[in-house]
Amino acid sequence: MSAGPRPCRVCGQFFTPVRLDAVTCSSTCRQRRHRGGDLAYLAGLISWEQREQRQWHDAVAADIQTHKDEKAAMLKRREANRQRRQERLLIEALGRAELEKLRASGDYDVVVAEARAPGRQ
Ligand SMILES: [Zn+2]
């Protein structure tokens, strides 16, 4: 997603967002927005300008949502990979522990022969 200049949802001034999901130009506008000032500047525009500006804001909001969805999917994949990695380590540790038990039991050679040639013995 590009984070090029976009209009502030409160004052309408174009700004270049630092955060991809920023929709206001400054902390002042952010506070105004939380106090009901969302799209406040549209009141001073004529209807076709308002329509155009609303479309702009809708497009920005859609971009932000797409970005958030992609990020959420990426985090989910990363978490799944982390779990798989942990499982692999656990399986290896358990396998090693079993192998040590087997060695200690004296059946090691029998089990290894069975594993190399299943059914023959
Ligand atoms: Zn602003």
Q: What's the CA gap between 16 and 36, in Å, rounded?
A: 23
| 36 Cα to the center of ligand 1, angstroms | 14
| 8 Cα to the center of ligand 1, angstroms | 5
> 3-class DSSP state for residue 55?
helix
**Helices vs strands, H then E, count in the chain:** 3, 2
Environment of ion ligand 1 (residues, CB < 5 A): 8, 10-11, 25, 29
Q: What's the CA gap between 7 and 54, in Å, rounded?
A: 10
pLDDT at 104: 92
| 72 Cα to the center of ligand 1, angstroms | 28
Place of tokens 């209009």: 7
Q: What's the CA gap between 113 and 121, in Å, rounded?
A: 7
Q: Is the pTM of this model over 0.85?
A: no
pLDDT tens, position by position, 19-66: 989 999 999 999 999 999 999 999 999 999 999 999 999 999 999 999
